[in-house]
Chains A and B, each alone.
Chain A
Amino acid sequence: MSTTQIKFYQVGSFAVGNRLLREDERSVQSDPERTNALTSGHRACQGCGEALGARYALDAAMRATNDQLIAVNATGCLEVFSTPYPESSWRVAWLHSLFGNAPAVATGVAAALKAKGNHTTRVVAQGGDGATVDIGFGALSGMFERNDDVLYICYDNEAYMNTGVQRSGATPPAARTATTQAVGAKPGNVFGQGKYLPKIAMAHDIPYVATATIADLRDLEAKVERAMTMHGSRYLHVLVPCPLGWGSASCDTIKIARLATQSGLFPVFEAINGEVVASSKIRKKVSVEEYLKLQTRYSHLFSPQRNDEVIDHLQRIADKNIERYELMGE
């Protein structure tokens, strides 16, 4: 009799499909009746973090609202790879208008529902980091200031990926992009630039701000569901690695997201009315180097020789986050 070597993984209590959990504790994705809001056939790259994040987020939003949801999408990868006319991957009511106006369009949808006396249907707006922190910033701030009843989800892959990996206001320091090339005396993106949207969102004192990554999908689902129990403006900032733009292996997408959180570079937390109320603790701290090494957008920090100064600076940023958001300990 021939034998085949297999690997058996004990995946833990909260894995998708775990039948030992109570029904209400099971992930949205474990439900065969889930919406599958972003269904297969879309044109995303292999290993796309955003496709994964968007599917989880919208399925969770649909469950939380009993399928009473309208989604507004900014221009970007998500919109482009999901609606190549005449096909659409979306199984929810979905509107794409422009690059910089998703928050405003969502405000309009929410206003129309309110005017019609519809208090059941809820609104989600989604966009990439470029649409959110740069071109749509004014509209987002306006939406926050009015406390319009919209959950805005930013899928942050840290550059304008759809148009060829150009730097955005969310591109981290030292990262190589098509407009912050790894050349010259200071290769990669400049230190000290860039906006940290979660804190800006908190500064508007909106009901709920949270960060999440696709490394912890249950946490992402839970945060979307928690956000949908609230009304007013809510903001969710999700780290979604991009294999193409980050120069990483397609199979490493989730791993890289996990390293981002475990190094402290991407803190995971929740804030209510502008105050941090909870953060996800780092289970096993890793150095930033472990995270950076998997992405060629940082390869200029290691070759031809290790750039101690920059790597140390990045480490200090990570350590500062750990301290500020209390990411170590219980």
Chain B
Amino acid sequence: MLRQVEGSKAVADAVAACAPEVICAYPISPQTHIVEGLSALVKDGSLKNCEFINVESEFAAMSVAIGASATGARTYTATASQGLLYMIEAVYNASGLGLPIVMTVANRAIGGPINIWNDHSDSMSQRDCGWLQLYAENNQEAVDLHIQAFRIAEEMSIPVMVCMDGFILTHAYEQVDIPTREEVKTFLPPFTPRQHLDPADPVSIGAMVGPESFTEVKYLAHQRMIDSLRKVQEVADDFERHFGRKTGGQLRSYRTEGADTVVLALGSVIGTLKDVVDELQLDGHSIGLVGLTSFRPFPFHALAEALKGAKRVVILEKAFSTGTGGIVTQDVVRAIEGMGIKDFTVIAGLGGRPITIASLREYLTNAMQENVERITFLDLETETIEKELSKERALR
């Protein structure tokens, strides 16, 4: 049903439509409205056969999820930033045990210094943990990705993080079509675990694996993650057949035909970039855009296809590896190896700094001329930086 609603509320309703059996979450800005929405639905009886556990920490949240999922329950939680970091041990445990938990990450910067606003440093820091990571471009996609996530997770036995920009999407009020429970039922069958805790057929889950087997266990997980790329697309295609709209999948191209320069980005900034690309094309520039939905697994092949013919790719990132540079850039560079495409990285939006059309236009105009550094921090206050650096130099 089409509604004008807050992103968080839309996600809560979408998750509820998936009939989760156990929801456990610890509040952290900017995810709070999602869990509040779900707790109300459980408490007032709208969401039946569901236990909502108010846990005492994010570590407990993921742990409760592990216990519930291992018992065969469809399980959901949500977090951001510091909360994600606090549960990391359990996050790795969940993927290691093959538990199809779905978790919303309301992307927020990691401190110190403490910052409650949006960037991708939280989910990016967990790119190796064995969870899928799907990034929503807008709240419609956020809704749809959660529904797709449960199916992908349960069919692959891999947990999924649905990443949506904190505040920018979670707290934005926009038009969203939220499928009903009945509509979701035909798309998402009940959870049938590969194995679960059952006194009638007891198994031991979580054994200690030594050097003689550990590599093989990990290799199989690696293979399964690669296989899930196909599943991500398959589920997105099936979603389109069911609901009539194209959301999810590996990536999407916007006006890249014949484009010399292609900008690549994840999340809500894709929307802003679409407006910028339109404006620049009107001015006669040869520029297009690729929005990445699936970051893990990384769609190497699909990206190489999408960038064929481009002279350069500009990767806009909302996180970076301290001392090294772009994170997404590393995967992109691997994808386009040998294709003769130059790469430029622009780090933007850190700690919630708004990414404006004006700044993007200016930067991209220069980037199209290759008149930018290999890596740029957008809207950096160079005066302040100079002052600080000379202070540090003086101290040394």
State the A residues within 8 Å of B (CB): 67-70, 72-73, 79-80, 83-86, 88, 90-98, 100-101, 104-117, 121, 138-139, 141-142, 145-146, 148
Give the distance in Å from the alpha carbon of A72 to the alpha carbon of B53 in the complex.
Answer: 18
Q: Say which size band chain B's interface belongs to.
A: 35 or more
Q: A93, A108, A142: which contacts B65 (Cβ < 8 A)?
A: A108
Contact A114 B60 (CB under 8 A): no
Of the residues B72, B90, B210, contact of A97 by C-beta under 8 Å: B90
Given known contacts A85-B210, A108-B63, A139-B63, is B73 in contact with A93 (CB within 8 Å)? Answer: no
Query: Do A112 and B204 form a contact, CB below 8 Å, given A86-B213, A100-B59?
Result: no
B184 to chain A, nearest CB (A): 17
B21 touches A98 (CB 8 A): no
Is B64's CB under 8 angstroms from A105's CB? yes
- Cβ 8 A contact of B59, one of A69, A95, A101, A109: A101
A residues near B64, Cβ cutoff 8 Å: 104-105, 107-108, 111
Question: B57 interface residue, CB < 8 Å from A?
Answer: yes
Q: B60–A104 contact, CB under 8 A? A: yes
Residues of B within 8 A of A96 (CB): 204-207
Q: Chain A: which residue is nearest B201 at the CB level?
A: A93
Q: Which residues of B78-97 have CB atoms within 8 Å of chain A's CB atoms?
A: 89-90, 93, 97
Q: Known: A72-B67, A109-B68, A139-B56. Is A83-B208 also a contact (CB below 8 A)?
A: yes
Contact B207 A109 (CB under 8 A): no
Q: B209 touches which one: A85, A91, A121 (CB < 8 A)?
A: A85
Contact A142 B66 (CB under 8 A): no
A115 proximity list for chain B (CB < 8 A): 21-22, 49-51, 68, 73
Assess the A108–B206 pair: CB atoms within 8 A.
no
CB-based contact B207/A95 at 8 Å: no
**Contacts known (A85-B208, A139-B59); A146 close to B53, Cβ less than 8 A:** yes
Within the complex, the shortest CB–CB distance from A150 to chain B, in Å, comes to 10
Q: By the criterion CB–CB under 8 Å, are A142 and B71 in contact?
A: no
- B202 contacts chain A at the CB level, 8 A cutoff: yes
7 CB < 8 A contacts A-B? A83-B207, A97-B67, A101-B90, A104-B63, A111-B51, A112-B71, A115-B50
Taking a contact as CB atoms under 8 Å apart, the answer to whether A107 and B67 are in contact is yes
Is A86 a contact partner of B206 (Cβ separation < 8 A)? no
Which one of A94, A117, A139 lies within 8 Å of B202 (CB-CB)?
A: A94
> Once the chains are docked, how many angstroms separate the CA of A113 from the CA of B213?
32
Write out the residue numbers on chain B whose beta carbons fall within 8 Å of the beta carbon of A72.
Answer: 67
CA distance in complex: A113, B209 (Å): 28
CA distance A113 to B203 in the complex (A): 17
A285 CA to B203 CA, complexed, in Å: 45
B49: A residues at CB distance < 8 A: 115-117
Given contacts A67-B199, A115-B21, contact A97 B63 (CB under 8 A): yes
Known: A69-B199, A108-B64, A112-B73. A94 touches B205 (CB 8 A): yes
Known A-B contacts: A96-B207, A111-B22, A142-B55. Give 14 more (CB < 8 A): A70-B197, A73-B206, A83-B206, A84-B207, A92-B199, A92-B202, A93-B202, A95-B70, A98-B63, A104-B60, A105-B64, A111-B64, A146-B53, A146-B54
Residues of A within 8 A of B213 (CB): 85-86
